[in-house]
Amino acid sequence: MYGSDSGLLRKLVFLLFIPGILGWGPEGHYATCKIAEGYLSEEAAVAVKELLPESAKGDLASVCSWPDDIRKQYRWSAALHFADTPDYVCNFNDHRDCHDPSGSKGRCVTWAIFNYTKQLSGYHNPTLESKYNLTEALMFLSHFFGDVHQPLHMGYLGDYGGNLIAVQWYENKTNLHRVWDDKIIESALKSFYNSNLSSMIKSLHQKIETGWFNDASSWGVCPNNETVCPIQYASESTVCACKYAYTNVTPGITLGDEYFLSRLPVVEKKLAQGGVRLAASLNRIFSPEAQLVAEC
Ligand X SMILES: *[C@@H]1O[C@H](CO)[C@@H](O)[C@H](O)[C@H]1NC(C)=O
What is residue 181's DSSP assignment? I
The 3-state DSSP class for residue 254 equals strand
CA 135 to mean position of chain CA atoms: 18
Q: What distances in angstroms separate CA 48 from CA 56, 141, 219, one per listed residue?
A: 11, 12, 21
* 81 near Zn ion, judged by CB under 5 A: yes
* 62 near ligand X, judged by CB under 6 A: no
Question: Which segment (27-35, 169-177, 226-234, 268-276) binds ligand X by CB under 6 A?
Answer: 169-177
* 122 near Zn ion, judged by CB under 5 A: no
| C-alpha span between 126 and 130 (Å, rounded) | 6
53 binds, among Zn ion, ligand X, none (CB under 5 to 8 A by kind): ligand X
Q: Count the neighbouring beta carbons within 10 Å of the beta carbon of residue 142.
A: 29
120 binds, among Zn ion, ligand X, none (CB under 5 to 8 A by kind): none
| C-alpha span between 232 and 137 (Å, rounded) | 21
* 202 near ligand X, judged by CB under 6 A: yes
* 106 near ligand X, judged by CB under 6 A: yes
Taking every pair of Cα atoms in the chain, the longest distance, rounded to a whole number of angstroms, is 61
* 169 near ligand X, judged by CB under 6 A: yes
Binding mask 145-164 for ligand X (x = CB under 6 A): --------------------
Pairing of strands 166-169, 254-255: parallel
Q: Which of residues 9-38 bind Zn ion (CB under 5 A)?
A: 22-23
Ranges of H-type helices in 122-196:
126-129, 134-147, 176-178, 184-192
Strands (E), the chain: 166-169, 172-175, 254-255
* 247 near ligand X, judged by CB under 6 A: no
Shortest distance (Å) from residue 91 CB to Zn ion: 22
Shortest distance (Å) from residue 13 CB to ligand X: 23
* 225 near ligand X, judged by CB under 6 A: yes
Q: Which of residues 175-194 bind ligand X (CB under 6 A)?
A: 183, 186-187
Q: What is the contact surface with ligand X in residues (CB under 6 A)?
A: 53, 76, 80, 106-107, 111-112, 115, 133, 135-136, 169-172, 183, 186-187, 196, 198-199, 202, 224-225
